[in-house]
Amino acid sequence: MKDFSPLEKKLGVKFKNKDLLTQAFVHRSYLNENPELGLEQNERLEFLGDAVLELVVTEHLYKEFPDKAEGELTNWRAALVNAKMLSTLAEELGFNNFLLLSRGEAKELGKARQYILANTYESFVGSLYLDLGYQESEKFIKKYLLPKLPEIIEKKLYKDAKSYFQEQSQDKVGVTPAYKVIKEWGPDHKKKFTVGVYLDNDLVAEGEGYSKQEAEEEAAKKALEVKKWSSK
């Protein structure tokens, strides 16, 4: 079993329940090869951490930007908590060295690893919340994630294809796009999705990804091309 004390030292946290810390890094695939581990995989922690993360970020945006409308704050929050941002941050924090993966999954890099890292960041927040409470989780998120916000605002990184396509659709045809999963396949730990983006009942484009969010973003990019609505 890995020694997580270097990570605790680096992050400035001290878990009371070390099993909770370990569980945050247990990918579903690892248990297939190590059923005797005695811990669950991290997906339930990820579910909890996602909610804690959203609350901390939402509260911060609400208090810090009283003059901003809900729509703009929603876009900023989405840019802060999306898979790309969380996986980049998880990598910066050294999470890659502590992932508990199957031998096959350990060889997979690229997009698949990106989503594992993003999910692990959320599960770590969930374990931190359960073990040390809301304040410690908030402190962790404010220390490492929220400093990314000024760059997001300055470089307009929140203007992703999905939000831009929505703006253009509402402006040009008066319709809000809808996204539907057309197909999903693959094992649970590495599912892929095909999502369609619709204007009213018309399918404009499809996108694929390792998460619904990624597939929706890809569909929006293609829809902008189909409609010849220049992106940004």
Active site residues: 50, 122
Q: Which helix (H) or strand (E) holds 133?
A: none
Q: Which two tokens stand for residue 28?
A: 């579903």
Rounded CA-CA distance 101/104 in Å is 8
Rounded CA-CA distance 53/132 in Å is 15
Give strand ranges (E) for 144-223: 178-185, 192-199, 202-209
Under 8 Å between Cβ of 176 and 207: no
Give strand ranges (E) for the chain: 178-185, 192-199, 202-209
| DSSP structure class, residue 145 | T
Residue 26, SS3?
A: strand
Longest Cα separation, the chain? 58
Rounded CA-CA distance 81/8 in Å is 22
Under 8 Å between Cβ of 146 and 60: yes
